[in-house]
Structure 1
Amino acid sequence: MSSASSEKSAPQDAQQRQHADQEAAKPAPPAAFDPPDGGRAAWQTVAAGWLCQFCSFGFINALGTFQLVYETDILKTTSSSAISWILTMQLFLMFFLSQPVGMIVDMFGPRAILMPTSILAVVGLVALSFAKEYWQIFLAQSLCFGLGAAGIFVPGLVTASQYFKRKRAFAVGIVASGSSVGGVVFPVFLAQLFDQIGFRATIRWTALMVGVLLAIANVLVVPPIKPKGWAGRRTLLSVAVFKQPAYVLFVGGSFFFFWGLFGPFNYLPLFAEQAKSTYAVASYTVSILNAASIFGRILPPLYSDRVGHFSVITVCAFVAGLSVLVVWLPINTHHSLGGLIVFALVFGFFSGAFVSLITPCLLQVAGGHTADLGAMLGTYFAVAAIASLTGLPIQGAITGSGDNLTGLIVFSGVAMVVGSAGLVGAMGVLRKKRNAAN
């Protein structure tokens, strides 16, 4: 009896041992990534992200210089609104394609998309140097460079963000400042060389500089999280995030802010030229604006790490919009170079802070999760893309062929102030949720 019982239990024991061996052989689930908040790889990736921002958003931040040279020289028979489509399409593609680009970063890492789009951006600039007609400029600058910028803009921003937790806003601010520095360098660089060697040669030198810097960025970027591969696939539009009231209010407010944001960037040089400033001074106004933006992208985010990201971004958005109505609007009728510079400094500082605080605020809405940051940013910027695409052409249509920019200025300022109200709503929802949890 005892022997028979042992014979029956033996196969069961063998099966149990086999099952235990199989369980032991299974790979352990990946440990949650704990951001190191520093280290060589982290700051190396911040540098790569800075270069990416410099070469993508930084170059596009010089759109006011292109608006001026196109309206006064190369495309002087083309309407202001039509020219603005060349520039706004770059913004649209860069923002709208952030979602699929973010998904590729999550799936395959930053280099998978950064390398080919770096090549595409340089090809677009080279093609622009040969363009003569409106449609040729549109294809080269708007589509080819715009598509390249979309793949350059997101990878460095996302990857650098994943390395930090406590210092995230500060790190993102440093990365985002690359676009402001680009907005300082490119207008001066372009304006000087346009006069000395002409449009075509200037763009070719620009292509060379951008190509070298992007090559360095591709070498420096190091992903902190192992790519998910095809397992990271998902739908391109994350509908679930729109079920969160705070996210809806934040995105809605940002839509209105982006609707008015690029008016000063695009039309300030033209405004200065109409105010009888020299061509050099007119071109440098956007550089002054972007110089102030450098400090805005670093100092307020550093402060927000202590007092709250939403508190700071809301104040900055409101002040940026208010400066358009309180400072720029009066000097539209009483021209003052000093007043123009004051406006460029104030608007540049506070609008720059808004842009650099987007990522920390989105992470706050999401509860601090970083794994799907690429998709989260992409969904946000897809909405911002629609505002960017339509804002400048609307402002150009308001201006028409006349020299009076009053309607444009009012539209820009009111849109940004309305946008700040949405941010107040999002902050209130998050505060209520936090109080309920406590």
Structure 2
Amino acid sequence: MFNSWGVVNGYGTYLSYYKESLLVDYNILHFNIIGATQCFFILFLSFISGRLLDANYSRWLLIGGSILLVLGMSTLSICNGAGRRGDGQYMYTWVAQGLVSGLGMACFFVSSSQIAATWFKRKKGFAIGIVASGASVSGLVYPTMLRYLIDIVGFNRSVQIVSSLIAITCLISIFLAVPNPDHHFRRPSNWFAAKTWVDKDAFKDPAFCWFTAAVSWTFFGFYCVFFSLEEWSTEAGVGYKGLEPPVPGMRALRTYWLLAIMNGSSTIGRLSSSYLCDHFGALNVHAGVTLVSSFLCLFLWTFARNLGAALAFVIIFGAFSGAVIGLPPASMAAILGPHPAQQGKLGQWTGMMYSISSFFALTGPMIASHLVIKFDTFLTVQLWSGLCLFISALCMFIAIIYHSRDESFVLRLTPASTRSRSVSCKSELSMSEV
């Protein structure tokens, strides 16, 4: 997770440098296309990686993803000339950072949460939350590291150092990220059959359909915040890009610090929300934090006019946004239910959900950046992200209703003796753990 969504979370710092120096002849729409391409491939290929995970091919995914990601990010340092002002080659940058790196990250994303999920039953949500916090830590480390190094050794050398850190952490995950051998794996008899990759039963489940719609709306507006934050802070006068503020005594921070703080605070949301999931239900917690995030964009962000308000937004939204983006696997596990045979479909159903939402992750930042160019204000991004998250929360509430009906239906069909035996088994499990 450190090297999938964590890299995407830090893309805003790359975008800011591209606009400031490397690719000065391009606008924010071109830059958002690179970040949106990363999001698209991470999500679109999730149905393939999820099915391979269900068949116990995690090691091959991690090796392939490591090769592609390190290749893409290291190539970024040699395709832009000397890395000085105006030296950038947009198409090469898109191929290296958007296409190749995005393909590599696609191998990591579903793997990270699903491998951890195989080891836990009672605390599955909390375990997935700890894994998801890797993205927030990475979103703090990579932007700070990159911008600090650019000031010292230049862009190309900085990217090489960042790529070295990516390679080291990828190597660690290859050896340590191993699924539980007792997990119920499903290897198909025919890899070329459509049912191997797409489970049609998922689309017969209203809770799955509504939750997939919710995640699609989330990605429609979510990463627009991260991609636009640094540029917005410059326009709003709460951030600056140079080594010193343009006006002496100006109450502002360097723009990358705002993005780093937002990513760092998302660790709180990822961990706390995943802990709450095990007590109040993943779907309930997920819908609540998504609704709050929408209000933060619509109201707190739009009225942030000074550094104090900007810091309040990045800290609070960062905490809630960490929960929003970290909980989909836990929510999907809740929709599938506790039965081992159903949990064996977790990788496939999660992958299908993300693949459907990939088209929204691709087009959302493009729409937001087009609105900025057309109306010449970042208010459009604030409203766009807030409305998308609000609609996402509504879809989640509908998914909760259908999921509750399904659970009630199962309980009505289950004999009382079976339910009592289930309760007895749970009691024995709790006593043995004590």
Band of TM-score, shorter chain: 0.7 to 0.9
Secondary structure, in 3 states, of the residue corresponding to 2:265? helix
From 319, 330, 342, give the equivalent of 1:360. 330
**TM norm structure 1:** 0.84
Which residue pairs with 1:205 in the alignment? 161
**TM norm structure 2:** 0.85
- Deviation of 1:188 (Å): 0.6
Larger radius of gyration: 1
- Deviation of 1:401 (Å): 6.7
- Deviation of 1:191 (Å): 1.1
Which residue pairs with 1:183 in the alignment? 139
- Following superposition of structure 1 onto structure 2, how do residues 280-319 of structure 1 map, counting pairs within 5 Å? 281-319=254-292
From 96, 101, 114, give the equivalent of 1:158. 114
How many equivalent pairs are there?
383
- Deviation of 1:406 (Å): 1.1
Secondary structure, in 3 states, of the residue corresponding to 1:78? coil
Secondary structure, in 3 states, of the residue corresponding to 2:337? coil
Moved more, 235-244 or 123-132: 235-244
Paired letter, 1:116: G
What are the superposed Cα offsets for residues 280-331 of structure 1, whole Å, 9 maximum, x if unpaired? 6211111111111101000111012111111111110000011001101122
Structure 2 CA distance for aligned equivalents of residues 214 and 384 of structure 1:
26
Is residue 273 of structure 1 aligned with residue 234 of structure 2?
A: yes
Secondary structure, in 3 states, of the residue corresponding to 2:74? helix
Which residue pairs with 2:402 in the alignment? 429
Deviating above 4 A after TM superposition, structure 1's stretches of 4 or more consecutive aligned residues are: 226-230
- Deviation of 1:402 (Å): 6.4
Structure 2 CA distance for aligned equivalents of residues 348 and 296 of structure 1:
8
Secondary structure, in 3 states, of the residue corresponding to 1:118? helix
Paired letter, 2:202: V
Which residue pairs with 1:341 in the alignment? 311
- Deviation of 1:105 (Å): 1.9
Secondary structure, in 3 states, of the residue corresponding to 1:55? coil
From 128, 134, 147, give the equivalent of 2:76. 128
Which residue pairs with 1:351 in the alignment? 321
Paired letter, 1:163: W
User: Closer, same or farther in 2 for the Cα pair 1:230/1:239, shift >3 Å?
Assistant: closer
Paired letter, 1:415: C
What are the superposed Cα offsets for residues 362-416 of structure 1, whole Å, 9 maximum, x if unpaired? 1121123321221111101112211110110000000017651111211111111
Instruction: Point out where structure 2 has 5 or more consecutive residues left out of the alignment.
Output: 81-88, 242-252, 413-434
Is residue 85 of structure 1 aligned with residue 33 of structure 2?
A: yes
- Deviation of 1:66 (Å): 1.4
Which residue pairs with 1:196 in the alignment? 152
Moved more, 174-183 or 153-162: 153-162
Does the Cα contact within 8 Å between 1:183 and 1:291 map onto a contact in 2? yes
Structure 1 CA distance for aligned equivalents of residues 273 and 301 of structure 2:
23
Does the Cα contact within 8 Å between 1:102 and 1:155 map onto a contact in 2? yes
Structure 2 CA distance for aligned equivalents of residues 81 and 390 of structure 1:
11
Which residue pairs with 1:24 in the alignment? none
* Identical-residue share of aligned pairs (%): 28
CA RMSD for the aligned pairs? 1.6
Structure 2 CA distance for aligned equivalents of residues 108 and 120 of structure 1:
21
- Deviation of 1:159 (Å): 1.1
What are the superposed Cα offsets for residues 70-96 of structure 1, whole Å, 9 maximum, x if unpaired? 111111111211110011100100111
Does the Cα contact within 8 Å between 1:64 and 1:265 map onto a contact in 2? yes
Instruction: Point out where structure 1 has 5 or more consecutive residues left out of the alignment.
Output: 1-52
Which residue pairs with 2:214 in the alignment? 253
What are the superposed Cα offsets for residues 214-264 of structure 1, whole Å, 9 maximum, x if unpaired? 111111122213754453744433332111111111111221121111111
Which residue pairs with 1:104 in the alignment? 52
Structure 2 CA distance for aligned equivalents of residues 309 and 103 of structure 1:
23
Which residue pairs with 1:399 in the alignment? 372
